[in-house]
Amino acid sequence: MMLQKWNAFCLCGEEEMFPAGSVPVEEPFAPLVFLIRREGLTGRGMFAIQSLGELYEADSVECLLPCRQTAPEDQQKLERFVLSHGACVLNTDFSNCFSYLRAYADGAKKKAYRVTLVGLGDVGGTVLTGLKLLGRELSEIAIYDPNEALCARYEMELNQVLRERDGQRLPKVTVCPEERLFDCDLFVFTASRGVPGLNSGVNDVRMAQYSANRAMLAAYARKAREAHFSGLFCQVSDPVDQLARAVFLESNRDESGKIDYAGLLPEQVQGFGLGVMAARAAYYADREGVDFSEGRVYGPHGKGLIVANHCGEAYDDALSRHLTELTQTANLRVRELGFKPYIAPGLSSAAVSLLRLLRGEDHYGAVPLGGTYFGCVSRFTPQGLLLRREEICGALMTRLAQTHKMLREFDQ
């Protein structure tokens, strides 16, 4: 592998991968970016690594384990550098990869962020309220909804929220014109169609919304492509994980419908539905008298969800499956009371998780992994998206692999 300098980056890869204007260098320096070329439908786009062995891993749920790969003997110098400084991996199969790399580096230096929020229904209104009250990292929340009166109402009321005495600002709420939807750092999509009524008898409420919501989302995915959007597309409406994948795919289709990898990189889309599942799991564990201090939650916001009392040797399969069932059906318990369950999802999955993301903290989200979007804990670092890696017992890994396979086989 060769080293070349491009702008402020040290690129490492094969000769044909380097962009125009890069020049050879002798020694690695930070930020170090490894260039790869992997099939865009299954490969990741830009992510962080902490050891050189991670560069050679297959993109699968095995990436949630400590890396088992070792660096080649002739790359020990690079291995030492990565262990000391970390590095980024960039997939050149995506034509926008270098422009995104530069935009990501610029965005990581920001002190305040602009958010666009689309959809002011029950979930959207809750997300907006949470971001207004908690979002001190935000300079502005631009809102968009076909109901202009609803936009005017939220702009008026939320800009009349009293500030705390410490004088720290609250983000300003503005009404977003359609042509500025993607003039932001985070694009948050909460709009939904076809939500089953309380008396519908539908058990899988989330998947019932897939077709209608995918059709609606496709238009926004194309707008993101046309705008050369360099921020993060945050998918909140159900079914979160499958729709996150749909956004990625639709943004990468040309006018004929062919995939051309000229849209969003996989990591520019993230699904936000797992946060509330983690909160619900902790709630039911407390009610059942179960110690959930080392509990884990993985997978989709719905069928295929995995709740584990522990990820290591203390993992109890029967107990974990019981907690999974309670957590997965928690929304139905609220509906049985005569209410739609949107407060906890709007706050836990979206508002709180989005702000943790902006702070560079661990957060729950569905991220690209081996040709699908898989819910786990990750965080954004200066080098890119970094997965939380830890020892996971065999029985739990089997469940993770089954859920990953189910998501991959979903007909997009």
Transcribe 288-309 into DSSP letters. HT---TT-EEES-SSTT-EEES
Residues 187-205 as b or e (16 or more Cβ within 10 Å = b):
bbbbbbeebbeeeeeeeeb
pLDDT at 183 over 90: yes
CA-angle at 377, arms to 328 and 90, nearest 5°:
130
pLDDT band at residue 198 under the 50/70/90 scheme: low
Q: Which tens digits make up the pLDDT trace of 152-172?
A: 999 999 999 988 767 678 999
Q: What is the mean pLDDT of residues 356-368?
A: 98
Same domain for 256 and 129: yes
Q: Which residues contact 309 (CB under 8 A, 6 or more apart)?
A: 285, 290, 291, 292, 294, 295, 315, 316, 319, 320, 323
Q: Which residues contact 232 (CB under 8 A, 6 or more apart)?
A: 185, 186, 187, 268, 269, 270, 357
Q: Which tens digits make up the pLDDT trace of 378-389?
A: 999 999 999 999
| End position of a domain, from candidates 71, 86, 107 | 107
CA distance 281 to 325: 10
Task: List the single range of 128-132, 192-196, 277-281, 296-300 with lowest mean pLDDT.
Answer: 192-196
> Which residue spans within 92-248 are E strands per DSSP?
113-118, 138-144, 172-175, 186-189, 232-235
Same domain for 87 and 72: yes
Question: How many helices (H) and strands (E) in the chain?
Answer: 12, 17
Q: Which tens digits make up the pLDDT trace of 80-98?
A: 999 999 999 999 999 999 9
CA distance 412 to 410: 6
Same domain for 154 and 132: yes
Same domain for 163 and 222: yes
CATH number of the domain residue 342 falls in: 3.90.110.10
Question: CA distances (Å), 120 to each of 129, 149, 351, in order?
Answer: 11, 11, 14
Same domain for 63 and 137: no
User: What percentage of the chain has pLDDT greater than the value 90?
Assistant: 89
CA distance 410 to 188: 24
**Predicted pLDDT of residue 203:** 53
**Predicted pLDDT of residue 205:** 54
Q: Find the domain containing 250 and state its range.
A: 113-271
CA atoms in the 13 A half-sphere facing the CB of 330:
25
| End position of a domain, from candidates 271, 293, 321 | 271
Same domain for 68 and 92: yes
pLDDT band at residue 207 under the 50/70/90 scheme: low
CATH number of the domain residue 238 falls in: 3.40.50.720
**Predicted pLDDT of residue 194:** 61
Q: Which residues contact 5 (CB under 8 A, 6 or more apart)?
A: 11, 22, 23, 24, 25, 29
| End position of a domain, from candidates 246, 271, 296 | 271
Q: What is the mean pLDDT of residues 138-165?
A: 94
Q: What is the mean pLDDT of the chain?
A: 94
* Helix axes of 317-328 and 274-288: crossing angle, nearest 10 degrees: 120
Query: Pairing mode, if any, of strands 32-36 and 363-368?
Result: unpaired
**Predicted pLDDT of residue 212:** 84
**Predicted pLDDT of residue 192:** 87
Alpha helices in 143-209 (DSSP H): 148-158
**Predicted pLDDT of residue 133:** 96
pLDDT at 206 over 60: no
Q: What is the mean pLDDT of residues 366-391?
A: 97
What's the total number of domains in the chain? 3
**Predicted pLDDT of residue 73:** 86
Q: Which residues contact 125 (CB under 8 A, 6 or more apart)?
A: 154, 346
Same domain for 234 and 221: yes
Token pair belonging to 197:
């009524």
